[in-house]
Amino acid sequence: MIIAIDGPAASGKSTVGYRLAKALDYLFFDTGVMYRAVTWAALARGVAIEDEPAVGDLAHALEIDLCSPQPAQQDGRHATVRVDGQDVTWLIRAPEVDRNVSAVSAYCEVRRAMTAKQRQIAQRYGRGDADRPGIVLVGEGNPSRTRALLATETKKHEQVAYGVPVTTVLVGKDQGQVPLENLQKHLEKLPKALQPHQLTEVKQRLKALDAMRPKLPVPRGPMPTMKGVNRAMRGR
């Protein structure tokens, strides 16, 4: 569900919107930060603010994303703002951005680009598929050995994917375990903590973990065949 709040400047839209989003556990999407993001990018990349066509082209080219703050980001931010993967949440609040954002936000091409990006973000978060539960390790088998194995793997994953929550799930019928037929529903109900822009980086870290694992040696000699097994079975 998407809730839109509009009104004149300094009417309290951000205050009300943030409090409502916090109460409902929704993403607080202040569309004004996107114009700040474009302004910051133009200043950082040496694009003249008065060059309207160049700023408009930049606005279309930028990848701007917003997401809810992570547990470790309790620094007063209402949302995390990223430009081409870089966290610019506080950079877009610089005085130089304050002085130039009004001019940038008035450019027709910038507004057209931001409207399209705002709709994409709103549709993604409105569908509720913006977050992921992080890394989930699923084990099945002897409970004692499986729990020990999951504990070891959890430590390894936490080392290479620092800050990403790692959840373990033990499949089975006993207490504290999840029946296999309920596994999918259980995973879908896990708390969501991983944002879309983090997926690529997390996958790369997990590949690094796989590369660190010892390689099992390949047995020497000819590959075994089933002929001997078949003869033995016929002799019984």
Q: pLDDT tens for residues 116-172? A: 988 877 766 654 444 566 788 888 888 888 888 888 888 888 887 767 788 888 888
Q: How many residues does the chain have?
A: 236
> What is the DSSP track for 88-122?
-TTGGGSHHHHHHHHHHHT-HHHHHHHHHHHHHHH
| Residue reference for tokens 């660190």 | 212
Query: Where does the pLDDT of residue 236 fall: very low under 50, low under 70, confident under 90, or very high at 90 and above?
Result: very low
| Residue reference for tokens 């304050």 | 98
> Is the pLDDT assigned to residue 27 strictly greater than 80?
no
The C-alpha atoms of residue 29 and residue 81 are separated, in whole angstroms, by 10
Check residue 205 and give its pLDDT.
78
Q: How many of the other CB atoms lie within 10 Å of CB of 61?
A: 10
All domains of the chain, ordered by start, with CATH? 13-126 (3.40.50.300), 135-212 (no CATH)
Sign of CA dihedral 165, 171, 173, 174: negative
Q: Which residue, among 212, 169, 173, 174, has the nearest Cα to 187 in the 3D structure? A: 169
215: helix, strand or coil: coil
Which helix or strand (DSSP H or E) is residue 183 part of? helix 183-188
- Bridge-based pairing of strands 135-140 and 166-171 is parallel
* Residue 192 identity: K
Q: Exposure string (b/e) for 18-50, b if CB count within 10 Å is 16 or more?
A: eeebeeeebbbbbbebbbbbbbbbbbeeebebe
Query: Where does the pLDDT of residue 233 fall: very low under 50, low under 70, confident under 90, or very high at 90 and above?
Result: very low
Check residue 185 and give its pLDDT.
79
Check residue 143 and give its pLDDT.
85
Query: Where does the pLDDT of residue 232 fall: very low under 50, low under 70, confident under 90, or very high at 90 and above?
Result: very low
Structure tokens at 48: 């003249």
The C-alpha atoms of residue 178 and residue 149 are separated, in whole angstroms, by 17
The C-alpha atoms of residue 67 and residue 196 are separated, in whole angstroms, by 9
Calculate the alpha carbon distances from 163 to 22, 45, 168, 194, 202 in Å. Answer: 22, 30, 16, 10, 10
| Residue reference for tokens 């590369």 | 211
